Structure 1
């Protein structure tokens, strides 16, 4: 009569390689999901591939944007040297505002398109790029820009930002016309380097 020890000896060893081969897709998916959960770079890479489809191209002709004169869009901000300014001083310019943080994967995904847009218009005196960093430490945001070799200036908001402009979700992008009215407001990542959006910015500048 066999005891438990003898029975366990007679069982064939589990074929680990067969199991791995049979479940390779599942294992790879688990690894991929794990990487996405812990790596902002991996998440932003995936989002950037989605942006490449053209489904996330920004457009200023949104119908749900409140462009009422009654909406307050003014708030204080400072550059990395601490120089304080208010958006009201930017009247007469189109203002592209983007709230972002280095830890935010959707922000990372869209930032190259913002850099491209900035590069196209940086020498134009009638547009201002106000990229508001929301990292807890200014140096963290600056380090990210330096690492990615982005040339767009970085700012921080000072005091309260009107909720109609920014309610706390990242990324948030707003375009103000020369009178300070909201002409575009979008929460979530988008491609701001598409030909259509570039043309729309040009049209706003020429208004």
Structure 2
């Protein structure tokens, strides 16, 4: 006599088979869900994705022409301090082109653009007419140091030492500003961008020559 219970067990799909059937039917949606979760929880994953977008060239930074300089130099000044505790003011940087970048180690867009800033810094770090003011906004100072060390970045490390004018920095990360030799804002951008492009390097060189 046939055992109907055994036949039923044999014909019914197992839990394992059900799982793979679900994956085959919903594989793309499942992978997209996992991808989105990873992006939400991983700063490295977010920054990697943003870096791929930067490769398209859409996010290449560009400095406007001389006629677009905004605000007077006195409106832009603030104090900053280096890792040794030395305090300076942007006012003391007159005669130099100043590249200012506000960043934090936990900020994915900051991480995404940092390789381009490192390339720009490597290009101009020995130029006496150029100054890089990369200002860390981490609550924990060591987090910023650890990030730069981990990624082998050589850009200088600064913190603000006075109130920063809202026209310079309003709290959005990352924010990048370029001041000309007179201290006027020639470039202001809130959000990530590519600062290592040939075009941007050439524009910095032109500012230095002014």
- TM-score strictly above 0.5: yes
Q: Is the 8 A contact 1:127 1:205 kept in 2?
A: yes
What is the rounded CA distance, in whole Å, between the counterparts of 2:103 and 2:95 in structure 1?
A: 25
* Corresponding residue to 2:166 among 151, 163, 166: 163
User: 1:25-69, CA deviations, whole angstroms, 9 ceiling, x for partnerless residues?
Assistant: 011001000000000000000000000000000000279966132
The aligned counterpart of 1:12 is 12
Shift of 1:71: 6.3
The alpha carbon displacement at 1:81 in A equals: 1.3
- Partner of residue 45 from structure 2, selected from 35, 42, 46: 42
Alpha-carbon shift at residue 85 of structure 1 (Å): 0.6
1:132 and 1:155 in contact (8 A); partners too: yes
CA distance in 2, matches of 1:96, 1:109: 17
Contact 2:62 / 2:199 at 8 angstroms: preserved in 1? Answer: yes
Tell me whether 1:145 sits opposite 2:148 in the alignment: yes
Structure 2: distance between partners of 1:16 and 1:70 = 65
Name the stretch that deviates more: 43-52 or 8-17. 8-17
Across the aligned residues of Structure 1 and Structure 2, the Cα RMSD in angstroms comes to 2.0
CA–CA separation in structure 2 for the residues paired with 1:65 and 1:168: 23
1:65, 1:185 within 8 Å by CA — same for their partners in 2?
no
Equivalent residue pairs, number: 200
**Aligned with 2:75: secondary structure?**
coil
Q: Which runs of 5+ in 2 are unaligned?
A: 1-7
- Contact 1:100/1:107 (<8 A) preserved: yes
Does the residue aligned with 2:109 lie in a helix, a strand or coil? helix
Q: Matched residues in 2 for 1:150 and 1:101: separation?
A: 14
Q: Cα deviation per residue 1:127-184 (whole Å; 9 max; x = unaligned)?
A: 0000000001221101100000001101001121000000000000000000000000
Structure 1 equivalent of residue 61 of structure 2? 58
- 1:47-196 correspondence runs (5 A): 47-61=50-64, 67-69=70-72, 72-196=75-199
Give the helix-richer structure, 1 or 2. 2
**Gapped regions of structure 1 (runs ≥ 5):** 1-7
Contact 1:62 1:184 in 2 (8 A): no
> What's the TM-score once normalised by structure 2's chain length?
0.90
Q: TM-score, normalised by structure 1?
A: 0.91
Which residue in the other structure is 2:209 paired with?
A: 206
